[in-house]
Amino acid sequence: MAMNRLRLTARVCRVAGRCTALLAAGLLAACSPKLDWRQVAVQGTPLRVQLPCDPQLATKAVELGQGLGVVQMSMLGCDADYATYAVSHFLVQEPSRAAEMLSYWQAAVLGQMNPGAPGQAPAGARQLHAKEDGPFLPAGALNLPQSLRTTFDGVGPQGWKLTAHAVWFARMEPQGARLYHAVIYSDKLRTEQANDFFASLQLQ
C-alpha cells in the first residue's frame, strides 16, 4: 500500500483543517483489506487507539494562524475496507487557548468540504446530526464544550462524495495542551466502525 504512505506524507499540510479533509482525496481507489483491528500507541503522546489496518505516520510543521504560529502536527492513519482512519494531534503551549483552537480546527475541517466553483469559497460540510453526535470526553481529557463528536458529508477537494465520523478533544501536558482529532472518511455511514474506533481512544 505505497499510496497510503504518499497520502499521509502529502496531506499533513499547510492548514490544520486540510490535514484530515485532504487525507480522503483518493479514498474510493484505496485497497480494501479485511478489517484487522490492533492497538496502536500514538507516538509522543499518552494516547492509545485501535486501528483496523497497519498505520503510517507523518509529521510536519504547520502554520496555524490565529496568532499561534507554527506547531508540529502529526498524523497516524491508514485505509481499510474503502475507508480512511486517522488520528492527528498537536501541542498548544497556551492551554487557555485550547477551546478556541478546537473550534478553529473543527471549522477548518468542515470548511474544506464542498469546494464549489473555481474562485468561490468552499460551501462547507453538511452536518448529519446523527444520534451518536454530541459531547465526546475520554477519561483524562479536558472538559471543554468543544470536545465533541460529529457526523458530516459533502464533496472532498478532489471531487469524491465523502461521509465522515469525527471527534475532537484535548489533554493537558506539562508543556501545554495537546489537541486531538480522530476521523473516519468513507463513501457511506460507518457508525458501527466509528463507535469501535472512538471507544478505543484511551488516554493513559
Predicted local distance difference test score (pLDDT) of residue 55: 92
Tell me the mean pLDDT per 10 residues along the chain, length 204: 34 41 44 76 95 91 74 90 94 92 90 80 90 97 97 86 96 96 95 96 96
Give which of 17, 198, 24 is closest to 106, Cα–Cα.
Answer: 17
Amino acid letter for position 188: K
